[in-house]
Structures are given as structure tokens and as C-alpha cells.
Amino acid sequence: MTALVRAELLKVRSTRLSLVLLLATLAMVALTIAVSVPQEDAQDVPLTLDDPRLLAVVVGESLGVPQVVVVLLGVLTATQEHRYGTVTSTFLVEPRRARVLVAKCLSSIIGSLVVAVVSLAFSVVVTMGLIRSRGGDLTAGTLLWQVLGAGLLVLALYGVIGVAVGALVRNQVVAVVAVLVWMLAVEYLLVPAFLSVGRWLPLGTTFALLQTGPTLDLSGSLLAAPVAALVLVGYAVAAAALAVVVAPRRDVL
Amino acid sequence: MRRREPSVTSAIEMHALTKTFGSVHAVADVTATVAPGRVTAFLGPNGAGKTTTLRMLLGLVAPTSGTATFDGRRYDELRDPVRQVGAVLEASGFHPGRTALDHLRVLATAARLPREMPERVLAETGLAGDARRRVGEYSLGMRQRLGLAAAMLGDPGVLVLDEPTNGLDPEGVRWLRGYVRRLADEGRTVLVSSHALSEVEQTADDVLVIARGRLVRSSSLAALRAEAGVGSMVRTPDPDRLGAALDVAGHTYRPEKGGLAVDAAPELVGELAAAHGVVLHALAGTGGLEQAFFRLVGEPEPQEETMTSEEVLS
């Protein structure tokens, strides 16, 4: 399994895509932060500059784009093999396809953690800089540590979900479009509108985990962080299990 | 490359191999053995079921029924598949943004092969100078070579090549022939598919001919050639009279390329023409092998559909 995971990681490293995506992600993280940190004279904002939760919440919020990116990376990991026909040589090397899929999930977790660490470090530095320059509260309490930990967990799990979706859908364009529509449109409309159900959806759990609640004015209605974590783990495990059971049965033509 | 002990290599065995896609019988009841130390050509027109058969052999497509094994083991039961079987399949591809060397490194890493193998097989297939170029810049011929390099990564005893000459220039085809011959001479089992007999005529020892999903012939190429006999191409300004003479003499013929293709040796045709006073503008002998192949794979009459290979041949 180690050999397979190393091979999967080499696949990701040996094309330019990952680096390009990572740089684009950091640019988007910076943009999100710029929008999230309130101006000095801002009134009527969910969090003011002197709110001690500000740093943690902005950092949590800035993970929205990396979250989409790791899912896309996972989807591409799985679908690219079909798009370019490399799946044939992959399965010739390891005909037990479930093992290949598990290796892909593990390598996606590692890749997602790299994206998470880089994004979080970048985000903390940029957010602190911006808050300081506007004279805001820089408390880095337990809430920040909770957001950082949750960020690692959320991105790792989303990476697994991406691989599972890609393995199940196979068609790259369909998978990418479906993921983007679901994550950026459907969930963002559904979760706040029908919170009793929405808080159980993946996005609802990440709102709870990444402390995005206050800015969206959803604070009290979300799941408790540990429950949200369990639910999201459940989604990832279920998606991976479904993919491992279903995908290897298909013919590779 | 080192010379192999024949005992290391294994025969390929297919038994009643069948694949149906919905109501389409892509491959029906194929039983054959491919022997080590020989080049076996797997022949048939496009769409005859060659690729599906090879993909079943390699565990990529699940057979509807029947088995395909290497020394008694299914591909997915092989302990170290890359070291035992190498394959180049038509649809197998490369990520255009990845270099050739990295493509092979990925495979070598997954198969736990020695680190030097990727560079070694690249040198062997003549790609050493282009190892660090992205595959997107490769020509079709170079991709074929890279596919072959990937197949050779584990120095396997069995080689399965699906239409390997596609995209190769004449020089590449000649190189491939020599390469395939050498692999078989080293004691390996080599199965090469092709839609044209002429492509493998010079290299193959054995032939498996498949048409409409069924195996219609399994023998040595020499046996097929002996059976096929000889033929000739003749051009005459008076094809009707020559045809009548051929009819009387009991030879079959058909119009082809502005002349007649006759199932008889050129000596016979020339003598017959002289005896009947028919003017000839050209006369040449042709191997009957190509015709024999076309007869084998030709569209059978409806009542012949369930015939066995022996019946079709007779």
C-alpha cells in the first residue's frame, strides 16, 4: 500500500496542475480575507474589529476556497486517469482496484493536508497583518486553535469525498461541474434557508467546525463542533466505501 | 537485455472466453493457447473482438464467462503482474503534462521495481534522449515506444501488444519487428494483435484469427501459408475470354485492381492464356496468404454463422 500511495503522490507532483491550483488558492484566500476583515469605521457588520473572535472566524472563513480546491483535486485524481487513459496502466500494475482507490484516498488526504497547512499558515499571517493594520483585536485564543485543527480535518475529509465522487462519476467534466454546482450553489442556498436540515449537510458541518456561524448569523443553530466532525467523517467514509464497492466492478474499455 | 530461461515464461491460456455487451456478442467462446518462445499474431478486422479479448486477458474487462490465465492464474491473481506480463493496449494513454520518465517512475514506484528500470527501458526503446520531455510533445510513434517501454519495465516473460504498429513510421515498424522477434527468441511469450496479416507476416510464428468475436483459426503461420497455396494477378485486354478459359480449367478468379486475381500459380495462368491465344499485359505471382486471411474473416453466409473453424475452412 505504501508503494501505491507513493505512486499516487508522484502522479500529483509530476504535473503542473497542483502547483497552479495551490497558487490560485492562496490568491483566493487573500481575497476572502480582504473582504472579511471589516473596515475601521464599519457599522452593522456581524463581527466588529474589536471582537476577540475575529481572527479565528476570518481564518475559518478563508478556508472556503481551499475546501472546494481539495475536492476538485480529488475529483481530478480519479477522473484524469479515465480522461487520459492512464487508468489502464494503473490497473495493469495493481489489478486489485479497490487497493488503488484506497491509495488514492490516502494520497488525497496527504495532498489535502499540504493544501490545508499552507492555506492556514498563509491565512493566519495575512489576517493578522490586516487586522493589525486596522487596529483590531488580535486575540489568538482557543477558538483559533480549534479552527486550525478543524481546518486540517475538514480539508482531509473533503479530499476523500472528491476522490470518491471522481471514482463514481468517472466523466471529468460531469464530475467537476456537479461538484461546483453542489458546493457553490445548492449548498450555499439550502443550508441557510433550511437550517434544520442544512446543518446536517457537509457545508452545514463545516460552518460549525470552522466557526463561520457568526458572520452568517447562524451561530446558535449549527451542530456542536464534535457532532459536526462526526457527521462529516461519516460522509467521507460512506462516500469512500461506496466508491470502493462500486467503482472496481466496472469494465475498463 | 539478459537472455531468459524459457521456464520463467508462461503460456497464455484462454478457455471458452466470452463477453457480451447487452445483446452484442463481442467475444464468443474463444479457446486458445499462446506458447512461449514464439510470436503469436492475433488477427482480425477492426471490431472483431481483439481488444476486448486482450482486455479480458489482462483483467481490465470482466469476462461474461470463461477464463483467461497465465500459467493457470488469472491476471488479478498474479503476485507480481508487472514482472510477469507486460502489455501495450491501444487506448492506454499518458498524461500529456507528465514527462516520459515520470510516467514510468509512477509505474515503477507502484510496482516496487528497481529505481534504474525507467531509464533502462527508455534507453532500450530509443527514447533516452526524450526522457524528460512532456508526453504531450511526443509523436504517435514515440508514444508507441513509450508504451512498449512501460510494458518492459518489469522485464516480463509475457508480452501482450495491441496493434503496436499503429502510428509507427516504416523505420519504426522495422525496428518493432526486430524487437518483437528478439523478445520471443529470448524465450518470452509474445502475443501481437493486428488487423492486417501483412504487418505480422514476417514476424509471426503462430496465428490466431478472430472474426465477429469467434476464433476461426488457430495454427502456425506456416500451416496457413501451405494451405493458402499460391495465386496470381493478371491483366489482359480480354478478361472475358481469359475468364471463360479459367472457368473451363476449374480456377476461380475475381476482378481486382484493373485485372483479375486468380487462385492459380502464374505458370498455369500463362500457359492457359497461350493455349487460348489470349493476350496478357501483366502477370505476377501473389501469395495466397492474404486471400486466405480475407476468406477466414470474410462475412460468412447466414447459415455458416454457427460453424466451427474447421467447417469454415473446408
pLDDT tens readout for residues B110-150: 999 999 999 999 999 999 999 999 999 998 889 989 999 99
The answer to whether the Cβ–Cβ distance between B55 and A253 falls below 8 Å is yes
> In the A/B pair of chains, how many CB contacts fall below 8 A?
88
For testing the chain A interface, which of B24, B69, B109 should be mutated: the one with the most A CBs within 10 Å?
B109
Q: In chain B, what are the domain boundaries? A: 6-221, 230-287
Q: Quote the CA–CA distance of B35 and B287 in Å, as a whole number.
A: 26
Instruction: Determine the average pLDDT of the residues in A93-106.
Output: 95
**Closest A-chain CA to B96:** A84
pLDDT on residue B312: 40
Q: Quote the CA–CA distance of B22 and A148 in Å, as a whole number.
A: 52
The answer to whether the Cβ–Cβ distance between B93 and A251 falls below 8 Å is no
**pLDDT greater than 70 at residue B9:** no
User: Is residue A147 very low, low, confident or very high in pLDDT (cuts 50, 70, 90)?
Assistant: very high
**Closest B-chain CA to A91:** B60
User: Is residue B301 very low, low, confident or very high in pLDDT (cuts 50, 70, 90)?
Assistant: very low
pLDDT on residue B288: 67
Higher local confidence (pLDDT), B221 or B291: B221
Chain B residues with CB under 8 Å of A94 CB are 81, 110-111
CA distance B55 to chain A (A): 8
- B75 in A contact zone (CB under 8 Å): yes
**pLDDT greater than 90 at residue A142:** no
**pLDDT greater than 70 at residue A213:** no
Q: Count other C-beta atoms under 10 Å from residue A55's C-beta.
A: 26
- B8 in A contact zone (CB under 8 Å): no
Chain B residues with CB under 8 Å of A21 CB are none
Chain B residues with CB under 8 Å of A90 CB are 110
Report whether B234 contacts B280 (CB < 8 A): yes
Chain A residues with CB under 8 Å of B76 CB are 95-96
* Residue in A6, A17, A252 nearest the CB of B109: A6
H runs (alpha helix) in chain B: 50-57, 81-84, 100-110, 117-124, 140-152, 170-185, 197-200, 221-228, 239-249, 266-275, 289-297, 309-313
**pLDDT greater than 50 at residue A110:** yes
**Class of the domain covering B6-221:** alpha beta
* Residue in A17, A88, A94 nearest the CB of B92: A88
Chain A residues with CB under 8 Å of B59 CB are 91, 95
Residues 6 or more apart whose Cβ sits within 8 Å of residue B306:
none
* Residue A41 CA, distance from chain mean position: 33
Chain A residues with CB under 8 Å of B111 CB are 3, 93-94
Q: Count other C-beta atoms under 10 Å from residue B302's C-beta.
A: 7
Residues 6 or more apart whose Cβ sits within 8 Å of residue B88:
B144, B147, B148, B150, B151, B160, B161, B162, B164
pLDDT on residue A40: 78
CA distance B75 to chain A (A): 7
Percent of chain B with pLDDT over 70: 91
Report whether B56 contacts A95 (CB < 8 A): no
**Closest A-chain CA to B54:** A253
**pLDDT greater than 90 at residue B304:** no
Cell 460453424 belongs to which residue? B307
**Class of the domain covering B230-287:** alpha beta
- In three-state form (DSSP H/G/I as H, E/B as E, the rest C), the secondary structure along chain A is CHHHHHHHHHHHHCCCHHHHHHHHHHHHHHHHHHHHCCCCCCCCCCCCCCCCCHHHHHHHHCCHHHHHHHHHHHHHHHHHHHHHCHHHHHHHHCCCHHHHHHHHHHHHHHHHHHHHHHHHHHHHHHHHHHHHHCCCCCCCCHHHHHHHHHHHHHHHHHHHHHHHHHHHHCCHHHHHHHHHHHHHHHHHHHHHHCHHHHCCCHHHHHHHHCCCHHHHCCHHHCCCHHHHHHHHHHHHHHHHHHHHHHHHHCCCC
Rg (CA), chain B: 23
pLDDT on residue B68: 95
**pLDDT greater than 50 at residue B307:** no
**pLDDT greater than 80 at residue B27:** yes
- A246 in B contact zone (CB under 8 Å): no
pLDDT tens sequence across A68-78: 999 999 999 99
Chain B residues with CB under 8 Å of A78 CB are none
CA distance B252 to chain A (A): 42
Residues 11-40 of A with CB under 8 A from B: 11, 14-17
The answer to whether the Cβ–Cβ distance between B106 and A7 falls below 8 Å is yes
Q: Quote the CA–CA distance of A169 and A237 in Å, as a whole number.
A: 17
Instruction: Determine the average pLDDT of the residues in A21-41.
Output: 90
pLDDT tens sequence across B47-90: 899 999 999 999 999 999 999 999 889 999 998 999 999 999 87
3-state helix, strand, coil split of chain B in percent (to 5) is 40, 25, 35
Instruction: Determine the average pLDDT of the residues in B25-39.
Output: 93
pLDDT on residue A75: 95
Instruction: Determine the average pLDDT of the residues in B194-207.
Output: 86
Residues 6 or more apart whose Cβ sits within 8 Å of residue B22:
none
Region of poorest pLDDT, from B95-99, B152-156, B254-258, B299-303? B299-303
The answer to whether the Cβ–Cβ distance between B150 and A14 falls below 8 Å is no
pLDDT tens sequence across A79-97: 999 899 899 999 999 999 9
The answer to whether the Cβ–Cβ distance between A95 and B89 falls below 8 Å is no
Region of poorest pLDDT, from A47-56, A232-241, B95-104, B221-230? B221-230
- A96 in B contact zone (CB under 8 Å): yes
Three-state DSSP class for B207? Answer: strand
- B283 in A contact zone (CB under 8 Å): no
Residues 6 or more apart whose Cβ sits within 8 Å of residue A18:
A12, A73, A111
- B55 in A contact zone (CB under 8 Å): yes
Report whether B137 contacts B164 (CB < 8 A): no
* Per-chain mean pLDDT for chain A: 90
The complex's ipTM works out to 0.87
The answer to whether the Cβ–Cβ distance between A7 and B150 falls below 8 Å is no
**pLDDT greater than 60 at residue B313:** no
**pLDDT greater than 90 at residue B225:** no
The answer to whether the Cβ–Cβ distance between A7 and B110 falls below 8 Å is yes
Chain B residues with CB under 8 Å of A3 CB are 109-112
Region of poorest pLDDT, from A111-115, B75-79, B308-312? B308-312
Higher local confidence (pLDDT), B214 or B286: B214
pLDDT on residue B7: 44
Task: Give backbone dihedrals phi and psi of B85, rounded to 5 degrees, phi first.
Answer: -135, 130
pLDDT on residue A214: 64
pLDDT on residue A251: 87
Q: What is the pTM of this model?
A: 0.83
Size of chain B in residues: 314
Q: Which three cell numbers stand for residue B24?
A: 452484442
For testing the chain A interface, which of B75, B104, B106 should be mutated: the one with the most A CBs within 10 Å?
B106
Region of poorest pLDDT, from A136-150, A234-248, B111-125? A136-150
Q: Quote the CA–CA distance of A46 and A12 in Å, as a whole number.
A: 40
User: Is residue B91 very low, low, confident or very high in pLDDT (cuts 50, 70, 90)?
Assistant: low
